[in-house]
Amino acid sequence: MDGWRGRPRGTITRSLEVCVADQETQQPIEQLIANRREKLKTLRDLGVDPYPRRFRVSEAVSVLRERLERIPADELAEKPPKVRMAGRIQAIRGHGKVAFADLTDGVKKLQVYVRRDRLNEAAWQLFKLLDLGDFIGVEGEVFRTRTGELSVAADQLALLAKGLRPMPEKYHGLADREARARQRYLDLLANPESRAEFEARSRLVSGIRRFLEGRGFLEVETPMMHPIPGGASARPFVTHHNTMDMDLYLRIAPELYLKRLIVGGFERVFELNRNFRNEGVSTRHNPEFTMLEFYWAYADYELLMDLTEEMVCHLAESVVGSLTLPWGETTIELARPWKRLSLKDAVLEYSDLSPEDLGERSRLEKAAEHFGIDRIAERSDGKLLAELFEATAESHLMQPTFITGFPRVISPLAKSTEDDPETVERFELYMGGMEIANAYTELNDPVEQRRRFEEQARATGGVIDEDFLLALEYGMPPTGGEGIGIDRLVMLMTNRSSIRDVILFPLLRPRPAE
RNA sequence: GGGCCGUUAGCUCAGUGGUAGAGCAUCUGACUUUUAAUCAGGUGGUCGCUGGUUCGAUCCCAGCACGGCUCACCA
């Protein structure tokens, strides 16, 4: 992949012309690369292997730095420690027969001090052929410079890997959002805050595992390729198995498989992995995204709300170090307990609609029309209510809020409440104006589940997962189940407004071929 | 998919209807404790692509590509 966009698309003839021109005038990036290739050749001529196999280090640069910083200056001067370290050259400051270079392991940097009279001639020649971005190994003594900078005075220098392309600018870093996503390695190198955000993501994910394992949950892996897509209503990606001559769907949710495991006697399971939905791309949607789903036998959605509060607070404490999250212009307070609000009450709170407007069909349709909701006629009352919620309340729900009171018709896998068969025991968690979690007391009545599937199939089409119904017929204990969108949780914890900023390699259109 | 905005040197950014500038990087030279090192000098651009208007377009217009924001889609 060539990041250079200036080269014209053209015929072979034209390309040849460009090549010929290169040799005389040289295109800019190619000139920079040519400079480095020339140095590479010179190094080889000097007998240097520019890509050696190994270099034993005493410690990583950042570990070394942390340890050495604690040694008092006089002790350092008296008994200079000998070290071997390796890293990427971030900066070179030449001073004639002396030079300084910043060496980094990506976390911290440590200065290398090079003196001509301290090195042999070959090492000095090597140093002069180094570029920003090259990997080197250094052996030397630690000291502090006149200005107090911790440094390693090099006795030995080794080239570990020569870079052929210039690094992004050291001061401003890499700002172009497209380049940052396409060449994430450059983003990570040039923008420390980006690196920190992905480290935060990693801590969050491992924190979830520890939290759930600590409560007796077992991590499992269920199929990514489903013969029947289920567990959600999104459009799936389709693929094909050749020798079985069978269409398969990349999973839109693991739900139906995880519940089979509850049937099978695993009472607490979770899966933390990718889902794929063939829908639009936006700042809150990537076609593949990471979802935590967990199922807990003998629990219900009330217990899940408690667990969710506990888990998210715990994660914020360990990832951010606070229960107050900066979020754009505002802040999110995670202190418990969190607000609970029914779907209807949320609509009423964030609109001028009255309870009567949400009652009979004609009033509901009128309200939906007022908020610009389309395909009104074909949508159920419940769906219209959910649409109204999205149109009025969702974007305002900054503070953590459990939305409850979901209609049965849009919740085919959730169990009804005791006093109202049209409402289910379900909640969605909203924070920062986004849906973060979706949970319910699972429907475990196989006859009722079949009826719901049939109701759904009539309304929206689709195939009934008979294999899942078969499992339910063997008996599933009362169970609470929940899904949490990990990417969005990371967005909240790192204060990023775009999901692309928290996914290392988000889906992008390929650059057009040259 | 719709609307709005953007695309200028490797990177970060200025700028103009008469074919372009800065800082960093790069190259040359000076410099034995610097750290956005400094000083002196130099190289580097079909201003995203294609077409139109114009005597003349990087600039105005249209289409296209890619991206950003937003709306739609998305239990």
From the Cβ of A166, is strand B under 7 Å away?
Answer: yes
Q: What is the C-alpha separation between A215 and A297, in angstroms, rounded?
A: 13
Identify the pLDDT of residue A14.
27
Structure tokens at A268: 């607490």
For the CA of A512 and the C1' of B38, the distance in angstroms is 44
Minimum CA–C1' distance nucleotide for A285: B74
Check residue A8 and give its pLDDT: 27
Of the segments A113-117, A368-372, A373-377, which one has the largest average pLDDT value?
A: A113-117
Residues whose CB is less than 8 angstroms from the CB of residue A207 and which lie 6 or more positions away in sequence, other chains included: A314, A315, A318, A319
Residue A155 confidence (pLDDT): 96
Pick out the nucleotide with least CA–C1' distance to A426.
Answer: B75
pLDDT at A512: 61
Residues 212-231 of A with CB under 7 A from strand B: 231
Rg (Cα) of chain A, in Å, rounded?
30
- For residue A82, say whether its CB is under 7 Å from any atom of strand B: no
**Whose CA is closest to A424, among A348, A304, A337, A342?**
A342
Mean pLDDT, rounded, for A394-421: 94
Long-range interactions of A322-325: CB distance < 8 A, separation 24+: A325/A492, A325/A493, A325/A495
pLDDT, residue A158, reads: 96
Distance A196 CA to B54 C1' (A): 53
- Give the tokens for residue A284: 């809150």
The structure tokens listed for A229 are: 């897509």
Name residues 32-61 of chain A with a Cβ under 7 Å from nucleic strand B: 32, 35, 39
Question: At residue A23, does pLDDT exceed 50?
Answer: no
pLDDT of residue A513: 55
Nearest to A475 by CA among A505, A445, A495: A445
pLDDT average, residue stretch A115-119:
93
Tell me what pLDDT residue A488 has: 94
pLDDT, tens only, A83-112: 999 999 999 999 999 999 999 999 999 999
Report pLDDT for A349. 92
Instruction: Give the tens place of pLDDT for each residue, A176-198.
Output: 888 899 899 999 999 999 999 99
Q: Quick one: A353 exposed, middle or buried, by C-beta within 10 A (0-12, 13-18, 19+)?
A: buried
What does the alpha-carbon distance between residue A321 and residue A85 come to, in Å, rounded to a whole number? 32
Task: Tell me the nt nearest to A180, Cα to C1'.
Answer: B67
- The per-residue pLDDT for range A297-349, each reduced to its tens digit, is 999 999 999 999 999 999 999 999 999 999 988 899 999 999 999 999 999 99
CA of A38 to C1' of B34 (A): 28
**CA neighbor of A413 nearest in space, from A248, A237, A270, A295:** A295
